[in-house]
Amino acid sequence: MYVTPEQIAAANKTGVEAFLSLASNQFAAFERLANLNASAVKAVFEDSLANTRALAGAKDVQEFVNLQSSFTQPAFEKAVAWSKSVYEVTAQANAELTKSAEVRASEWNQNLVSMLDKASKSAPGGSDVAVSAVKQMIAAANSAYDSFTKAAKQATEIAEANVAAATETVKGLSKAKKVA
């Protein structure tokens, strides 16, 4: 069993393409986060200017206090919306990264099993037990990885549900304060 230069070149090309794809996806996520943060900073700045102008125009202390308390609710709602958006971007980037890792792990496992099959054909008699043992270890590792992946996905789903519930709770509290 010999590795040809073409096989090495193909493996290198696949690895470089996978890396570039991953880098592109992560850069896109970084760009979305940067845009999100820039928009948030701009909105906070504009709100601060408007709030300062409104406070400067207050006729008395009571109006000043009322204006100040009216500013907190929209700022709080914007902060919740921003944090939800950040979570969505990071969750999407994490999902893309996980998907890419799963594809690479699957390809690696397939290549390893293929290599073992080729090696077992040219191996001396009696080595089929060792090859079988290695294949069983790979199968067990894959099973453990699948279990871990399922558990991680369940944890992510629970976290997403908790974030959604917390967001709704915060919105409910803010609406209750408006009414009161």
**Highest-pLDDT range among 23-27, 107-111, 124-128, 164-168:** 23-27
Better pLDDT: 96 or 1: 96
User: How is residue 71 written in tokens?
Assistant: 């500013």
CA 18 to chain centre: 18
Banded pLDDT at 2 (limits 50, 70, 90): low
Distance CA 120, CA 126 (A): 10
Q: What is the mean pLDDT of residues 93-103?
A: 86
pLDDT band, very low/low/confident/very high, at 173 (cuts 50, 70, 90): low
Residue 121 pLDDT level (bands cut at 50, 70, 90): confident
pLDDT of residue 148: 79
**Mean of per-residue pLDDT scores for the chain:** 83
Beta-carbon-side half-sphere exposure of residue 53 (alpha carbons within 13 Å): 6
Let me know: does 145 contact 102? Beta carbons within 8 Å. no
Q: Residue 1: pLDDT above 90?
A: no
Q: Are 127 and 135 in contact (CB under 8 A)?
A: no
Closest CA to 26 of 89, 79, 81, 86: 89
- Mean pLDDT over 102-129 rounds to 77
- What does the pLDDT read at residue 86? 92
> Who contacts 156 (Cβ-Cβ below 8 Å, separation ≥6)?
91, 94
77 in Cβ contact with 174 (< 8 Å): yes
> Three-class SS of residue 95?
helix
56-60, 70-74, 95-99, 169-173 — which is least confidently predicted? 169-173
For residue 36, give both structure tokens. Answer: 């999100």
- CA atoms 90, 92, 94, 100: torsion sign: negative
Mean pLDDT for the stretch of residues 160-175: 74
Q: What is the pTM of this model?
A: 0.67
- Is there a contact between 1 and 111 (Cβ–Cβ < 8 Å)? no
- Per-residue pLDDT of 18-68, as tens digits, reads 889 889 999 999 999 999 999 999 999 999 999 999 999 999 999 999 999
Q: DSSP letters of 135-176?
A: HHHHHHHHHHHHHHHHHHHHHHHHHHHHHHHHHHHHHHHHHH
Among 2-16, 87-101, 127-141, 159-173, top mean pLDDT goes to: 87-101
